[in-house]
Structure 1
Amino acid sequence: MMPNAKASRLVILVGMFLVLAVINGAIWQKERHLALGEIVYLELAPVDPRSLMQGDYMSLNFAITSRIQTTLDQESNSPNARNGNVVVRLDDQYIAHFQRLDDGSPIGDQERRLQYRLRNGYVRFATNAFFFQEGHAERYQSARYGQFRINDQGAPLLVALYDSELKSLGSLVR
């Protein structure tokens, strides 16, 4: 075998190893986030009824996003703001209630920081859709809350949807 062929194989093997290591690292981080993250519920807000159920997923919007958007519009020093944190207060059921945009000041015992993103002019938390098994759309029509797991940085991961009594309707399809 020629020396160039050996070097090429080595480069390919090292590249494949690095790709697999990065992918497995990302999977491990998400699994850890889901296992150890603190539970927070965000109330769902109405979405366009025509897009509520589209095949195997439900479009999501959260009530808190309108408060964030209004506050951003009133207080924004930068019209190009893209991402940020909001401070929410958790009630006894761990339902998040808008307090203020995060300015870096200390937060109270019942307060948490949640990361949000601005995409195409809309405030988003983790996702704007909930995927479910085909044929199970009726199960999720009574959804009123999204359950998230947040990590120490306030990054939310959507776990499941819940009804108005905080009873689980089902988890994300994986």
Structure 2
Amino acid sequence: ELEKLGLRDDVDLHVYEVPVEYQTVQRLIPALWKKHSPQLVVHVGVSGMATTVTLEKCGHNVGYKGLDNCRFCPGSQCCVEGGPECIDSVIDMDAVCRRVSELGLDVTVTISKDAGRYLCDFTYYTSLYQSRGRSAFVHVPPLGKPYSAEQLGRALQAIIEEMLDVLEHPEDKINCQHEH
């Protein structure tokens, strides 16, 4: 849906489907960063437990015990051996959440600090590590539970545009009052 809606004219949107496979993520995410050198990568994952559109603040390096679609799990149970335990996105997710919520899109947007220690979190951490924090992860509920494809597409469009705005205008965050 987001591909149909697009983003603002100065944004070059590339959409990739990332398989639910640890080894593919470890190869593909760095390759995509190298190929495109983007200002920002926004990953989107479906969570059967989600009832809101959820902005993930950080990715975690350790605790990966679940088997992927190839029935594989990293022996080290981590993304990057020797990497920091947690990497925060450089994007102020609280500001993005607040700004998108004020748009009145009939979609509830929330914040999380735990993307789940499965492939979503693994992908997010891998991208955060590769990008020095210039990544984001958005969890969405399954289609129709409760949002339509159009509602999710419009929400993602607004979220990504707000993320880019926050990245491009960091001086707007000087008076930020939330805890870091």
Larger Rg: 1
Q: Flag the structure with higher helix content.
A: 2
Q: TM-score, normalised by structure 1?
A: 0.28
Tell which has more relative contact order, 1 or 2 (C-alpha 8 A, sep 6+): 2
Structure showing the higher strand proportion among its residues: 1
